[in-house]
Amino acid sequence: MSLAAITPPSHGVVIDLAYAGADNFTGKPVYARAACYLHADAERALRRAVTLAAVHGLRLKIFDAFRPSEAQWVLWNHTPDPEFLADPRRGSPHSRGVAIDVTLIDGGGRELDMGTSFDAFTPLSHHGNLALSVEAQRNRALLLGLMTAADWDFYGNEWWHYQLFGSRRYPLLGDSVLPEGMMAA
């Protein structure tokens, strides 16, 4: 199975893979090589979302996409919290190439206020949380609307996480499916 490479020039997105650096909840890089991939079905849905966001003068910023199964184990071993992380024994939609973690950015490249940061493992990260500012609620609703109109399903506990409907029908994939791996050798 091949995955489609997602790049800023080819897809009109900003890519800032959180797990390629130390600025993530583990405090260290998980990926040895920063690369962004999606299954072809998810890549088509991403293109639709990019087009819909552009109508509003916005772009998508990607924090994570395909996550090799090996990386899911690293995250789980650090923080085994099933409210925010998929147990790697069951598999994550990320490890199937059909999930993406995103936010919206404006024309100046600034992230819209979503009320919490990416990977804030707190109830404030849940969709529909009314303890947030009206602006953050509005921005989350806009992201939710754009993504669902582009055929993405949402995960209720994470405003940033979207996956294809029926994600479990796609196989789990490891680092070896990539032409050049993301994980350390």
pLDDT at 1: 62
CA distance to 3, 34, 56, 62, per residue, from 169 (Å): 16, 26, 33, 23
Q: Which of 61, 56, 64, 67 is nearest to 12 (CA)?
A: 61
pLDDT tens by residue, the chain, 185 residues: 689 999 999 999 999 999 999 999 999 999 999 999 999 999 999 999 999 999 999 999 999 999 999 999 999 999 999 988 999 999 999 999 999 999 999 999 999 999 999 999 999 999 999 999 999 999 999 999 999 999 999 999 999 999 999 999 999 999 999 999 999 87
The model's pTM:
0.96
Pairwise CA distance, residues 89 & 79, whole Å: 15
Pick the catalytic residue from 70, 135, 158, 180.
158
- Domains located in the chain, CATH noted: 4-177 (3.30.1380.10)
pLDDT at 6: 98
Write the CB contacts of 119 (distance below 8 Å, at least 6 apart in sequence): 18, 24, 25, 63, 84, 101, 160
- Is residue 55 within 8 A of residue 41, CB to CB? The reply is no
Active site residue 158: yes
- Is residue 138 within 8 A of residue 146, CB to CB? The reply is no
Q: Which of 85, 68, 59, 48 is nearest to 177 (CA)?
A: 68
pLDDT at 184: 82
- Helix, strand or coil for residue 46? helix
